[in-house]
């Protein structure tokens, strides 16, 4: 009961982060450590200590993967690799631009992740659209498309990565089964917004380049090379896991090593001060370290609940009260609109073992869809939404009035599509 009380209080602190003005990473770390403290003090120190070290091995795989992926993305951005995308978008028509932004977000999220994609795409929107009202509608479709794109890719969302690393799903199965439902979940709100946003948008005036933004301007060759190599090593991570049977974090670290070597070689003739933010050392300083610590803290708390048997009791309780696996999964997806989907998926992994639901079971695949796309219903329900909320200052109320309903309809339509495909196969 003490562990549950600590977890609930810690989670409330995370949900009301902005009200309390307390970073969610701090709340998560306190929650994780205190849960394990409450678990070990009255128990067998040797047994529980061994449990913690075993759980830490699984957590480290996720954290090293995130660290490597975020560093690779920062290197691409430092070399202005993403500018190759922005320079090709010339339309001013709101409908066409909504469609373009949605498709790019959907595809980019599958290769990168929904958090990084939302940051990149909102930076793109700021260069393409002037006016806060227009930008907020684009922000809504960026959140929905980034979450939908991340749901069908093993590296597109932290939750799908967790399921993939945990062995609950395989990359080919996830892509085949969830691509169409994820596309439907994006298409429904996209059509809704396109029907209500007509006319031409205004493009902001181009600002002069900031010479201090990078230590040294990059050449066209450097931008293309870093983008191709960076995106390539990210895409090849699932193939590396399949061929070598090594954990995905080994593939991402290999990719980071390759990109690191490439950037060192192309800048080796430049002076140290001129290389500026183009180095890996600089990229490591810019990555979102609090997010990594947040994942560590919340996953530590979940593993404490798992090790103490709380999640197993919760699973049996849900089976008795709800019974239907699909209803349980959809309820988890709807809950992710209010509560971060990372602990929800981590809880599901703790509640149901691979002996209960083997790899690529219907439950795990549907969970990847529901947890990934359900967070779009409210702006606080996903990392992408929180990031956009901070960048564009989209209020909770504005999003609830104008985006939540089409996002919910898209979620339900995608779920129905998945269930129809599963029933036919």
Digitized pLDDT (tens) for each residue of the chain, 425 residues in all: 888 899 889 878 876 777 788 887 898 899 999 998 998 888 788 888 888 888 888 788 878 887 888 888 888 888 877 777 777 887 888 899 999 999 999 998 888 778 778 877 887 888 788 877 888 999 999 999 999 999 998 888 888 888 988 889 998 999 999 999 999 999 999 999 999 888 888 777 655 544 444 445 678 888 889 889 988 888 788 788 878 888 888 988 999 999 999 998 888 877 777 677 788 888 888 877 887 888 788 888 888 887 887 766 766 676 677 768 888 888 888 887 876 677 778 778 877 888 888 988 999 999 999 989 998 998 877 778 877 876 777 777 788 899 999 999 999 999 999 999 988 87
Classify residue 189: in a domain, yes or no.
yes
Q: How many domains does the chain have?
A: 1
Classify residue 43: in a domain, yes or no.
no
CA-atom Rg of the chain in angstroms:
22
Classify residue 61: in a domain, yes or no.
yes
Classify residue 18: in a domain, yes or no.
no
**Residue 404: its pLDDT value, please?**
94
Task: Return the residue matching tokens 């070990």.
Answer: 40
∠ CA(139), CA(141), CA(145), 5° rounding? Answer: 120
Long-range contacts of 226-230 (CB under 8 A, 24+ apart): 226/75, 226/76, 226/79, 226/81, 226/259, 226/262, 226/263, 227/76, 227/79, 227/81, 227/82, 227/84, 229/258, 229/259, 229/262, 230/72, 230/73, 230/75, 230/76, 230/81, 230/259
Structure tokens at 146: 């980034």
Q: What does the alpha-carbon distance between residue 200 and residue 408 come to, in Å, rounded to a whole number?
A: 28
Q: What does the alpha-carbon distance between residue 425 and residue 416 come to, in Å, rounded to a whole number?
A: 14
Query: SS3 for 292?
Result: helix
Classify residue 333: in a domain, yes or no.
yes
Q: What does the alpha-carbon distance between residue 22 and residue 18 come to, in Å, rounded to a whole number?
A: 7
Classify residue 6: in a domain, yes or no.
no
Q: Which domain holds residue 380?
A: 48-202+215-424
**Residue 211: its pLDDT value, please?**
47
Query: What pTM does this model have?
Result: 0.72
Classify residue 109: in a domain, yes or no.
yes
Classify residue 34: in a domain, yes or no.
no
């Amino acid at each position: 009961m003490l562990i549950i009380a600590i977890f609930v209080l810690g989670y409330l602190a995370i949900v009301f982060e902005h009200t309390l003005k307390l970073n969610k990473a701090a709340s998560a770390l306190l929650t994780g450590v205190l849960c394990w403290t409450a678990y070990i003090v009255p128990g067998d120190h040797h047994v529980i200590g061994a449990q913690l070290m075993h759980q830490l091995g699984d957590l480290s795989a996720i954290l090293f993967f995130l660290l490597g992926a975020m560093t690779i993305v920062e290197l691409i951005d430092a070399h202005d690799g993403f500018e190759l995308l922005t320079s090709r978008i010339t339309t001013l028509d709101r409908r066409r631009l909504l469609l373009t932004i949605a498709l790019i977000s959907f595809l980019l999220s599958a290769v990168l992740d929904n958090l990084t994609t939302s940051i990149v795409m909102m930076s793109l929107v700021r260069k393409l659209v002037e006016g806060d009202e227009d930008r907020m509608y684009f922000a809504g479709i960026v959140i929905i498309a980034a979450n939908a794109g991340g749901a069908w890719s093993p590296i597109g969302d932290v939750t799908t990565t967790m399921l993939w690393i945990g062995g609950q799903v395989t990359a080919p199965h996830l892509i085949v089964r969830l691509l169409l439902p994820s596309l439907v979940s994006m298409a429904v709100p996209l059509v809704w917004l396109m029907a209500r946003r007509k006319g031409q948008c205004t493009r902001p005036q181009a600002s002069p380049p900031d010479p201090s933004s990078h230590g040294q301007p990059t050449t066209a060759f450097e931008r293309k090379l870093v983008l191709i190599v960076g995106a390539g090593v990210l895409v090849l991570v699932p193939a590396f896991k399949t061929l070598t049977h090594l954990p995905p974090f080994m593939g991402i670290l290999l990719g980071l090593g390759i990109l690191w070597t490439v950037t060192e070689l192309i800048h080796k003739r430049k002076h140290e001060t001129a290389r500026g933010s183009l180095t890996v050392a600089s990229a490591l300083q810019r990555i979102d370290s609090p997010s990594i610590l947040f994942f560590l803290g919340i996953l530590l708390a979940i593993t404490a609940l798992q090790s103490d048997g709380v999640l197993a009791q919760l699973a049996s309780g849900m089976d008795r009260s709800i019974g239907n696996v699909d209803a349980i999964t959809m309820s988890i997806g709807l809950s992710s609109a209010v509560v971060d989907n990372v602990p929800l998926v981590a809880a599901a992994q703790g509640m149901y073992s691979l002996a209960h639901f083997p790899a690529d079971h219907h439950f795990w695949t549907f969970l990847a869809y529901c947890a990934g796309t359900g967070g779009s219903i409210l702006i606080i329900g996903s990392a992408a939404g929180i990031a956009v909320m901070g960048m564009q200052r989209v209020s909770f109320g504005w999003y609830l009035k104008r985006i939540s309903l089409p996002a919910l309809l898209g979620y339900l339509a995608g779920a129905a599509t998945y269930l129809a495909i599963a029933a036919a196969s």
